[in-house]
Structure formats: structure tokens, C-alpha cells
Amino acid sequence: MRKITLLFSLALLMLFGIGEVNGQLLFQENFDYTTGSLLTENGWTAHSGAGNQAIDVTTGLSFTDYVASGIGGAALLDNTGEDVSRTFTSQTTGSVYAAMVVKTSATNAQGYFFHFGQNPWNTAFSSRLWVNATGDALGIGASVTTWVSITPETPTLVVVKYNLDTKESSLYVFNTYPTSEPTTADATFTETAATSIGGIGLRQFNASQNIVVDGIRVATSWDDVLTGDFPSNEAEILGFVLAEEISTAIISSENAMVTSTVAWDADLGTLEPTITVSAGAQVTATTLPVVFDGVNPVEYIVTAADGVTTKLWDVYVLKAAAPEMLTIKQIQETAEVSGDSPYLDKMVMTKGVVATVDARGFYLQDGAGAWNGVYVYQGSAPTVVSGDSVKVTATVAEYNGLTELVSPDYTVLNQGNTVAAATVATLAEMNSEMYEAVLVTIEDVKCIVPEKSKNWTVANATDTLVIRNGIEDGYAAVLFQEFTSITGFGQQYNATYQLFPRSIADIVEVDMVTLTFNVDMTAPIDAGTFVAGTDVVYVTGDFAGWNEPGKGNSVLMADADANKVYSATIAMAVNHGAILYKYFKNTGWVGGEWDGDPNRTLTIADVDYVIDPADVWAVTGIEDNLDMSAISVFPNPFNNVITVNGLANAKQIRVSNMLGQEVMKVNLAGQESKEISTDNLNRGVYFVTITDGNNNAKTVKVVKQ
């Protein structure tokens, strides 16, 4: 294919003028017609003896490696009578080559059966190709002085050449396919008159002749006549592209018509299409300069590579309908489970007041309340400011669940308008589509997950919501901090609904103090009973409702400075008073600093409290490991009671079934032996796991019968 961008000028018309065809075939004939049909029924013209013993189609010939071998039929020249011809683009300089496969009969008549001619056809023949009476030699010229031997009844590759500059005809005969043009021809003949070559002829001269000709190819070079392509007669428009188009152009070859639709506000006077046409073809408009008016077609003419075939095309460039003016609620409100806008992927127009801006777009509202806000994404800092009334034309898109207006074109109508007031919403309401990009306020919530990667989570008694520092980026939420209110814009990322405060002023805290726990884990780390990076530390206590470590309000601590001191900060009510707390290794109750009381204690007043110096993980609380070899479980199999011996340093016994489900748990308090009733267990296989205070464990398989 050839791809061109039209620059409409008279120079282009001159550029697309049709001249000589070079570097390709001038003509080819494979006689791919019904056997027995006449050549004059298939594009050939009878120039002598029309209708008398007409040349017909016979079985085709093959010659190894020749590009025209074995395609279709062949021409049978076996009588005296009709002669036929075909013409092609006339050549006046250089050389013209004709290649063909020839098969002769041993019983023949001497005469010429092929020749070059002129266009228009006349009697000025040249490069006559002869056969002798016994069919075993070929010659070239007006008369033959040199005969080139061939084998009758055997397909032979023949190349005839005429040099227009020297007037010399040359004959090349091959039994095998040649790799290049020979330096010396097998026979030559100097012509006297031919100044142009524009056709070929096939001649019948005697009732005794018997010659089959197939695979005729004509070109201006040796390589092209043996391997070149015939100039295409295709005059198609394959592609039509405008920078302003909103969809791929519709191309109908059958109707020779192209329809392209551009944006509703495109300037038709500046359109410059890029047109792709058939290989080697040329295209130009019939009228210059080209002007698209959105109604009438512009005519283009495509001229095929053969320089002859043309096709007239009608090209329509139409404007899309202007986008519909909608309220933001019409764009946003949806009953779809996906939450997608009913106008997804459509261009719309809407108006509203800029509520706030961020680094990549702005929030637009046309009123307060559900469904009345939308985020306008432009990918860079906008030029509008809060309070601007704007008209926006954009495409509706969904970005990870958030409805947006993208690729916006907007106009500021006026400035200094009042931004819609924040709507008070519950956390349950915030976890839905209706408050996307709407300014809202949530009330009476508490931080349950502190800030990490800009996200933190708040909750009330029944619901949770993610708060993201997406507009302001300077607030660090503290665990258990309570808030009177948080104001921001509803957002969504995938299936998670969020709230984006505009600034720290949007975050109204309850007056609280912070408590920072610090515990020094040097002793257990050095003793090898605590592995930093694998084991973790939790703190829990009455401030967390004594939730089990790893659950609920228990607090995970971190060694942020890698100094073996683990820390965590929470918020507490002012003058809270005394609290009880304790540190635990990993999840569950078995990893405490020590068993049972006493708990650690401190008192919260009206200032922030930091445990400094850090609490020290009690050395006395470092548990001795289980003696695995001393543990035994019997009897096995058992009926209703099992006994576990060797429990020194053990803290817990757990019994689980084949599915890994815990069916029994027994906490220990220094017993050496424990008898366990199993009346409630069904017969089957169970696993008894004994764990010490350092989370070392031994598991024994038992069977109840």
C-alpha cells in the first residue's frame, strides 16, 4: 500500500500524471481460461483471418522455477487462419523482453509464430520467433540465419529481446531456469524499422504447424520479465484518516464511497486527510482546493498502478451531533450494579461551579446533595479556580470505578460563585455511588487504622470508611483518634469508596492526647527467643477492651528505627486516668511477657504521654522451651479420656480434626500432666498440639475408637 497525505495544489496534479511504467511487468498472459475456449473470447484481438481456424486454449505447460509455470492453460497454434494480438503501454527507449514456455511437435511447418508489434496495432512487426519444419530448432528475425536446437515435445523456456536503441533482436533458449541474463544471445537479428514496441502477436501460418505457447510475460528488464509483478489494476481507497475524526472512516468499495465523522465543533476548512490507496496507485481530488462542507461529497479519482484503471470516489466528511446538555445528576445517577454512568463513553455537555482543584483536574458541582458532583480529569493542573462557573464538554469515563469527565474542553462563564455546601452523610451512605465527587461531611468517627501510603480508616459503631490524603497531604492520623467531623469529596478506587479532605481544616479532631508505647526487645532478641522480622509485638489492655493480640483493637507495634525498640502511638481521652496494658509476642494469649498478673499500668493526664525510657520485655518472662522428648499422649487409640505428660513449660493444648478445625483448647498453668475428657468427640483421627510460651509446638496424631 502507498500512504500519502494530500497537499492540495496544482503541483500535486502534475505529480500524479501517468507516464511510462517502469520496473514492473508490461503484460502477462497465463491463459487461465476454460479449455477449448477461444483467445478472442478472452481479451485477445484477431488482426488477421478473424474466425478462421481460431486459436483456442489447450492444456498448460510447466517449466521448473519459472514464475508463470503451470498456471491455467496454454495457446494452441495448429492451423492456418486467425492471428491474434494484445497491446500494452508503448515503449520507445531501452529494451523490451518477452518470456514464454514453448512446446513444439516433431511434425511441423517452418514459419514464425510469435512477434512484437506496436500500439496502436499495425503491420510493423519485429523480433519474429520461428520454428523449423521438424520442430527441433528456433530462430529469430525477419528471416533466420541461425537456428537454436530444442527438443520437440519438451517444454522450453524462451526469451525474446528487442533493443529499441540498437534495433537488435536477440533469442535466448533454456532447458533449465537461468540465474541471470547471458552475456551472449543464442541468436540475433538486426531489424530495420521498429521504433516502438507496444504489443505481441501469435501467428498461425500452416495447417501442419503444431506449437503450444504458455506463460507469456513482457517487461523492460531481464529480472522483471522472469520474476516481476504485473502492475495492479486496483484503484481502491484503503484508509482515510483525519486528526479530527471521532471514529474510523467507513469505506465502501462497492459504492466507491468514504464516510468520515469529525467532532461536532471541528473546523471543516482546515481538514487535511491522510489517504491510503492500493499499492502503486495515485489519488487526487477532481476539484481544487478541496473544501468539505459537512453535506456534499468531495470527489477523488484513484489511478491504479497499471496507469490505465481509474475509479471515482465520493468522500463525505460529516460533523457529529453536538453533545447533549445534561445536569451532573443525569450523568452520575445510575441503578447499574457496576456503578457505571448511563452516558459511559459518550460525549456530553454540562455546567456547574468548581468546588476545588487538584493537580490533575477539578471537582464540579451544580448543587448540594447526592449525585450532584463529578470529577473533571485533564491530566494536568487546571486553570480554573474554586468558585468559577464553567461549561464543560467532555467524554464520560470510568476510572477504577470513579465516574469522570475526560478530555475536557471548558469555558469559564463567570467567577466568584458560592460553592455548594457540604452534605452530611452517614458512613453507610458514603459506601455507595451517590456521593462520588460530592462535598460531604461525616461525623462522630474514630480512626481504627492509622495512615499508611496516604490512606487511613475511620469507623463508627457499624460502618467503616477509607480516608485518603489525596488533595491535602499533611495529616497523619493516629490510632483511636476521634473526630467531631471530616469534610471532603467522595471518591472511589476499584471497589473501595473513599473520602478526600481538601485540607487539614476539613479534619476536626476531638480534643485528645497521644500515648506512645515503647518496649525494648533486646533481651529476647539476643536470647534467640524473638526473631526480628519474623516475630511481631502486640500491645493490648483495658484501653483496647483487652482484645486478644492480633484481633480487634489490639495494637501492632513496629521497630521503625531497627534499634530493637518497638513502638506504637494511639489517641486517648484527656485525663483518662490509669490504664492497664501488657505486651505479647505474636498473636494469641500464649505469648505474653509472663502469665497472668500483674499487668503494666500508667496514668493519662492532659498532655501527650511517651513511655521513655522504654519498657523492657521482662527477662523473667522469657519462657523455657518445651522438652519435646518428654511429651507423650496416651492411650492411643483412646476412648473417652487422653492423658498428656511432659508438660513442663507448656502453655496450651489444642485438639484439631482432619480438616484442621480446632475442636478443643486447654490453657495450662504449670501442670506436668493433664487428663482431658473427650466425650464430645466423634470417633476418628485427631491431632493434639502442645505449645509453649515461645510458640514452640509438638503435634501428636491420635485415634478415637
DSSP string, 43-99: T-EEEESTTSS--EEEE----TT-TTTT-SEEEEE-SBS-EEEEEEEEE-SSEEEEE
71 and 60 in contact (C-beta within 8 Å)? yes
- Containing structural domain, residue 48: 25-227
Q: How far apart are CA 59 and CA 70, in angstroms?
A: 9
Whether 1 has a pLDDT exceeding 60, the answer reads no
**Domain assignment of residue 338, yes or no:** no
Q: Show which of 569, 588, 621 is a domain's final residue.
A: 621
Is 537 in the same domain as 450? Answer: no
Whether 228 has a pLDDT exceeding 80, the answer reads no
Q: Which range is least confidently modeled, 39-53, 173-187, 369-383, 682-696? A: 682-696
Q: How does pLDDT run across 113-145, given as a tens digit for each residue?
A: 999 999 999 999 999 999 999 999 999 999 999
Mean pLDDT in residue range 557-584: 94
Is 88 in the same domain as 130? Answer: yes
- For 237, the 3-state DSSP assignment is strand
Q: Residue 648 to residues 591, 599, 623, 671: CA-CA distances in angstroms?
A: 16, 24, 11, 7
First to last CA, the chain: 83
CATH code of the domain covering residue 408:
2.40.50.140
Q: Which range is least confidently modeled, 292-306, 433-447, 478-492, 682-696? A: 682-696
Phi and psi angles of residue 700, each rounded to the nearest 5 degrees, phi first: -120, 130
**Domain assignment of residue 326, yes or no:** no
- For 129, the 3-state DSSP assignment is strand
**Domain assignment of residue 16, yes or no:** no
Range 183-218 burial, b when 16+ CB lie within 10 A, else e: eebbbbbebeebebbbbbbbbbbbeebbbbbbbbbb
- For residue 582, which amino acid is it? K
Is 210 in the same domain as 310? Answer: no
Q: Show which of 394, 413, 432 is a domain's final residue.
A: 413
Phi and psi angles of residue 292, each rounded to the nearest 5 degrees, phi first: -90, 130
Distant-in-sequence, close-in-space partners of 627: CB < 8 Å, separation ≥ 6? 646, 648, 649
Among candidate residues 250, 305, 239, 242, the one with its CA nearest the CA of residue 277? 239
CATH code of the domain covering residue 613:
2.60.40.10
Mean pLDDT in residue range 431-435: 94
pLDDT-based confidence at 205, cuts 50/70/90? Answer: very high
Instruction: Give pLDDT, residue 5.
Output: 42
CATH code of the domain covering residue 428:
2.40.50.200
Mean pLDDT in residue range 404-410: 96
Q: Show which of 392, 413, 434 is a domain's final residue.
A: 413
Is 617 in the same domain as 636? Answer: no
Q: How far apart are CA 235 and CA 619, in angstroms?
A: 92
Q: Which range is least confidently modeled, 514-518, 555-559, 671-675? A: 671-675
What order do you get walking across the sheet with 2-5 strand by strand? 2-5, 274-277, 237-241
- For residue 264, which amino acid is it? W
Burial class of 122 by CB neighbour count within 10 A (0 to 12, 13 to 18, 19+): exposed
**Domain assignment of residue 553, yes or no:** yes
Q: Kindly report the three-state secondary structure assignment for every residue of 381-431.
A: CCCCCCCCEEEEEEEEEEECCEEEEEEEEEEEEECCCCCCCCEECCHHHHC
Is 135 in the same domain as 72? Answer: yes
Is 502 in the same domain as 518? Answer: no
Q: Residue 230 to residues 21, 93, 214, 554: CA-CA distances in angstroms?
A: 10, 20, 16, 83
Longest pairwise C-alpha distance within the chain: 131
Q: How many domains does the chain have?
A: 6
Is 155 in the same domain as 139? Answer: yes
Q: How far apart are CA 266 and CA 245, in angstroms?
A: 9
Alpha carbon 354 to its chain centroid, in Å, reads 35
Is 459 in the same domain as 408? Answer: no
**Domain assignment of residue 1, yes or no:** no
**Domain assignment of residue 462, yes or no:** yes
**Cell reading at 253:** 468499495
**Domain assignment of residue 325, yes or no:** no
Instruction: Give pLDDT, residue 51.
Output: 92
Instruction: Give pLDDT, residue 136.
Output: 97
55 and 78 in contact (C-beta within 8 Å)? no
Q: How far apart are CA 533 and CA 528, in angstroms?
A: 13
Instruction: Give pLDDT, residue 593.
Output: 86
The residue among 2 and 471 whose pLDDT is bigger is 471
CATH code of the domain covering residue 675:
2.60.40.3080
Q: How far apart are CA 696 and CA 626, in angstroms?
A: 7
**Domain assignment of residue 127, yes or no:** yes
Is 115 in the same domain as 215? Answer: yes
CATH code of the domain covering residue 303:
2.60.40.2340
Whether pTM exceeds 0.75: no
Q: How far apart are CA 131 and CA 142, in angstroms?
A: 13
Is 406 in the same domain as 533? Answer: no
Q: How does pLDDT run across 234-249, given as a tens digit for each residue?
A: 999 999 999 999 899 9
Is 526 in the same domain as 436? Answer: no
Is 244 in the same domain as 302? Answer: yes
Mean pLDDT of the chain: 91
